[in-house]
Amino acid sequence: MGRYFGIINLVALIYFASLLTAYASYVQKEKNEIEQLKLSYAIDYAADAGAQELLNTGSLDMDYTNYKAFNADPQLALDTFIDVFCFNYDMPPTEANRAIVRDYIPAAAVATFDGYYLASQRPVLFHKDGSTAIEQSQFGEDWRLAFGMKLPYRYLTTAARYALNMGMDYSYRLTDTDLARYDGLPPNEHGVTMTKEYAMRWINNLVANDMAEAIDRINETNGNWKNRFYIPSQLSGMNGVNSIEGPSFLILVQGVNLTTAKPIDGFSVSGTKIDQARMLIGYTRNSVKYYAFADKVPAGVVTPDRVFSSMEEAAQAEYTFDWEYMK
């Protein structure tokens, strides 16, 4: 009888231990998923902040005749991303904490109107304010996240080389001797003009492939790197998908172990879009207040009283839709 109860107790103990193991595994898995979600939000919010900072550059140098083109500072976007990412993990954005976050970023890109900047881990000469020649010789090169020169959206055929832009209204034809403006999009190998959809796919693939190649170069040239980075499915999945439709900030974060024992990864694409506003003017004609699009009203016919950004705003100011000019 005692042996019978012993067997029952042993089975119950094994069953209880199995439940505890399963529960611990479930809790750990749930914690990892929560931390992965937290990382995803942290990257997305920081990337959005970086993309917004693209518009806060000192001088955008915009032109009303080409409103999609403006200056962008890629380093400002990256610095903003790092600072916001630090705040998301309750880390003050000190230089030491920024250096920790930089080590998690194998590649980033800022896509602008007519080209893109690519940041990757690069070997740079050791630099420290007041460093001696002995210190520099001891440390030599250091790996740091840094942007390279601006790269064009290149498109090559056997006949010529072209530089595309996001406006799609023109491109540049590059030859060995000159740079000529080419109205519209360039032709392909068969002489057929590429479509806007194909041109945007080309730009997407160009940026994604260069980011992937940068990751490969890091893995090949830096044998002492603490992590070997890999190309995420989100990045390779950009092939044929227009993630980039305007000035954008793309960033890959890998090997983050700030709150988890197992490193986790994330990838984000964030962008800004500038739309051309069609302004409305308010005026008085035949003692009646009307509004119409500024480009619809013949020059010199009426004297504008007000300028509005929307029809709702004009209606609230008690101006009436002018059917004569809005046909």
Output the CA angle 190-193-194, nearest 5 degrees: 100
180 lies in the same domain as 317:
no
pLDDT band at 65 (very low <50, low <70, confident <90, very high): very low
Number of domains the chain is built from: 2
Residue 18 has pLDDT above 90, yes or no: no
Pair type for strands 141-147 and 115-125: antiparallel
96 lies in the same domain as 155:
yes
Of the ranges 14-18, 34-38, 117-121, 264-268, the best mean pLDDT one: 117-121
Residues in CB range of 296: below 8 A, 6 or more apart: 325, 326
246 lies in the same domain as 294:
no
* Domain limits for position 313: 280-321
267 lies in the same domain as 122:
yes
pLDDT band at 156 (very low <50, low <70, confident <90, very high): confident
Q: Which residue has the tokens 């009307």?
A: 290
310 lies in the same domain as 232:
no
pTM: 0.68
pLDDT band at 170 (very low <50, low <70, confident <90, very high): confident
252 lies in the same domain as 289:
no
Residue 3: inside a domain? no
139 lies in the same domain as 267:
yes
pLDDT band at 53 (very low <50, low <70, confident <90, very high): confident
Residue 62 has pLDDT above 70, yes or no: no
265 lies in the same domain as 285:
no
240-285 pLDDT, tens digit per residue, is 555 777 788 888 888 888 887 777 777 777 765 555 557 788 898 8
Residue 183: inside a domain? yes
pLDDT band at 78 (very low <50, low <70, confident <90, very high): very high
Residue 252: inside a domain? yes
Confidence (pLDDT) at 238: 54
pLDDT band at 63 (very low <50, low <70, confident <90, very high): very low
Residue 249: inside a domain? yes
Portion of the chain with pLDDT greater than 90, in percent: 8
Instruction: Please state the rounded mean pLDDT for residues 146-157.
Output: 88
Residue 222: inside a domain? yes
Residue 225 has pLDDT above 60, yes or no: no
200 within 8 A of 113, measured Cβ to Cβ: no
209 lies in the same domain as 309:
no
Confidence (pLDDT) at 264: 76
Instruction: Please state the rounded mean pLDDT for residues 235-243.
Output: 56
What b/e readout covers 69-102, taking b as 16+ CB neighbours within 10 angstroms? bbebbbebbbebbbbbbbebeebeeeeebbeebb
262 lies in the same domain as 131:
yes
Confidence (pLDDT) at 83: 94
Residue 185 has pLDDT above 60, yes or no: yes
Residue 103 has pLDDT above 90, yes or no: no
Residue 13: inside a domain? no
HEC secondary structure over 90-125: CCCCCHHHHHHHHCCCCEEEEECCCEEEEEEEEEEE
Confidence (pLDDT) at 205: 86
Least confident of 6-10, 120-124, 303-307, 312-316: 6-10
Closest to 293 measured CA to CA, from 275, 319, 274: 319
125 lies in the same domain as 34:
yes
How much is the mean pLDDT over the chain?
A: 77
Residue 140 has pLDDT above 80, yes or no: no
Q: 60 or 310: whose pLDDT is higher?
A: 310
Confidence (pLDDT) at 6: 65
Beta-bridge mates of residue 280: 293, 308
Residue 254: inside a domain? yes
